[in-house]
Structure 1
Amino acid sequence: MRQFSANLGFLWNDLPLPDAIHAAKRARFDAVECHWPYDTPSEDVKAALKTHGLRMLGLNTSRGDVSAGENGLSALPGRDADARAAIDEALKYASDVGAGAVHVMAGFSAGDAARSTFIRNLDYATEQGAKHSITILIEPLNGYDAPGYFLQTTDQAASLIREIDRPNLKLMFDCYHVQLMEGDLSHRMENLLPIIGHIQFASAPDRGPPDGGEINFAHVFDLIDELGYDKPLGAEYKPKGPTDASLKWMDRLRG
């Protein structure tokens, strides 16, 4: 049976993180993931995961100074020290709660200097992550929600992954972002499967539950099964109201 992970950055984000983990278990999710859990002590998250028999798949590095509009640090020239501090923070938290992946956020930047900076910091992240058996993920973000974000396409991400050539550097394939920027989800997913570390989903173009919008997720999920990908798929959508009222898709799309 197909497995799903609840992204607690969007689902039940009105609850304290340990309570959101409980809600995800009650709703029959198989795993959880989050964005920035750092305000919650890692021991509280670890205890909630153990109590409810769930695992945390992954989390993001800090965005930086959100009040100044930052959305990641690792591709910002001149900010290597800040980027590496954020990487260290994320790896420690992930290790403490048993998460297997960290998404290293690039930030708003462009050009050759940004690319070189990102490569340098990803080298650092993969080296440090390997010490804890943690996978490093990079994720293209669409230019509508995150205009000016350094990493915007799967081709760009694949080029970086090939160049860095570390076994624990993988692509976060978010169907929502890829659909908005590139489309052709089926062929892209098939071609990129060897470097995909995690798959997320939401409807497009509104980032709602996967039972609306322009993506046929019944087809996409069947393809994922055919390709032999059997990890939990990340529900990273924005509910249009209470999260529990948005879960009608689960039974239909479990397979």
Structure 2
Amino acid sequence: MPQPFQLAVCAEMLWQDKPIEWRAARLTERGLGVGLWNWPDHDLGKLESVGANYTIMNGYLQGRLSDRDGADKLLTSARETVEVGKRLGVDRLNLHGTGLGDGGIPIPLQGAFSPGMELRARDTLHRICDLGEEMSVIFTLENLNPLDHPGCPFGSTAEVLSLVSAVNRPQLRINLDLYHTQISEGDLVRWCEASLPWIGEIQVADNPGRCEPGTGEINYPGIARALHCMGYTGPVGMEAFAADDSDAAVDAFVAAFTV
């Protein structure tokens, strides 16, 4: 059966008893891209030596979208991260509405919007796009969910789509995380359709549990067929834990997205 998507797996979440470079090599042997989180956690030389296709990595270490101090920190951090991303050949650099601390808790915690936040966030994202244009890189803005990441501004699928479509520049795409969308809004196929012109990557995990496709309530083979019918041929990354065996989790992911 044909494989219409560019498949990748987050190396941080599987084979957690193994070094990160071992995990990257294992995924590369299977013909899959490799997703990463924060680059300071790893030995960059060892990651370089694997020769992996690193598909996505956090594009910043600190900062936030909607205030001047946070935006300045975000841009400084993003510029530093771009250099690391270029060293590893990372395809996309990922952003959130604000920095995430231990356990995914936003820093700072913002439970409500204040006037002007969205306009300031757009301004910040235009600055991010200027950086992307200067450095020839692509950033993505990821949606989150309020259960795992309470108080994160610009976390919902609707808010992320609103921002990215308003900025509407090729240096900024949506990282549409369907695990988060399922918890926040559901209606996954229609969110894929609405976001399609701006999608840079689709990320998946089943719910509840955030494990591989087939362990929860989401019909990922059906979503894969719908994406194929829409003409989507871009990246699909599994950002999920293994319910039991990591190799079996990868097998289930690949099977779900083989149309």
TM-score calculated relative to the size of structure 1: 0.86
Q: Report the 3-state secondary structure (helix = DSSP H, G, I; strand = E; otherwise coil) of the residue aligned with 1:244.
A: helix
Task: Compare 164-173 and 115-124 and name the one that shifted more.
Answer: 115-124
Corresponding residue number in structure 2 for 1:47: 49
CA shift, 1:199, in A, is 0.4
The correspondence for 2:55, drawn from 51, 54, 57, is 57
Using the aligned pairs only, state the percent identity: 23
2:174/2:201 contact within 8 Å kept: yes
Which consecutive residues of structure 2, in runs of 5 or more, have no partner in the other structure? 99-105
1:58-110 per-position Cα deviation (integer Å, ceiling 9, x unaligned): 1113454xxxxxxx633455323321222112211111111121112222434
The correspondence for 1:104, drawn from 78, 83, 95, is 95
CA shift, 1:191, in A, is 2.1
2:96/2:143 contact within 8 Å kept: no
| Aligned counterparts of 2:129 and 2:251: Cα–Cα separation in 1 | 38
CA shift, 1:33, in A, is 1.2
1:143-173 per-position Cα deviation (integer Å, ceiling 9, x unaligned): 0000111122222112212322312211111
Which consecutive residues of structure 1, in runs of 5 or more, have no partner in the other structure? 65-71
| Aligned counterparts of 1:247 and 1:115: Cα–Cα separation in 2 | 38
The correspondence for 2:37, drawn from 32, 35, 38, is 35
1:181-221 per-position Cα deviation (integer Å, ceiling 9, x unaligned): 11111111112111111001000122111112111011001
CA shift, 1:129, in A, is 1.3
| Aligned counterparts of 2:254 and 2:156: Cα–Cα separation in 1 | 31
Corresponding residue number in structure 2 for 1:146: 149
CA shift, 1:30, in A, is 2.0
Corresponding residue number in structure 2 for 1:85: 76
| Aligned counterparts of 2:253 and 2:170: Cα–Cα separation in 1 | 32
The letter of the residue matching 1:45 is L
- Note the aligned Cα RMSD (angstroms): 2.1
CA distance change for structure 1 residues 88 and 15 in 2, over 3 Å: closer, same or farther? Answer: farther
The letter of the residue matching 2:196 is L
Paired positions, count: 243
Aligned counterparts, 1:1-255, within 5 A = 1-2=2-3, 3-26=6-29, 28-49=30-51, 54-64=52-62, 73-75=64-66, 78-107=69-98, 108=106, 109=110, 110-250=113-253, 252-253=255-256, 254-255=258-259
| Aligned counterparts of 2:195 and 2:140: Cα–Cα separation in 1 | 14
| Aligned counterparts of 1:78 and 1:130: Cα–Cα separation in 2 | 22
The letter of the residue matching 2:34 is V
TM-score calculated relative to the size of structure 2: 0.85
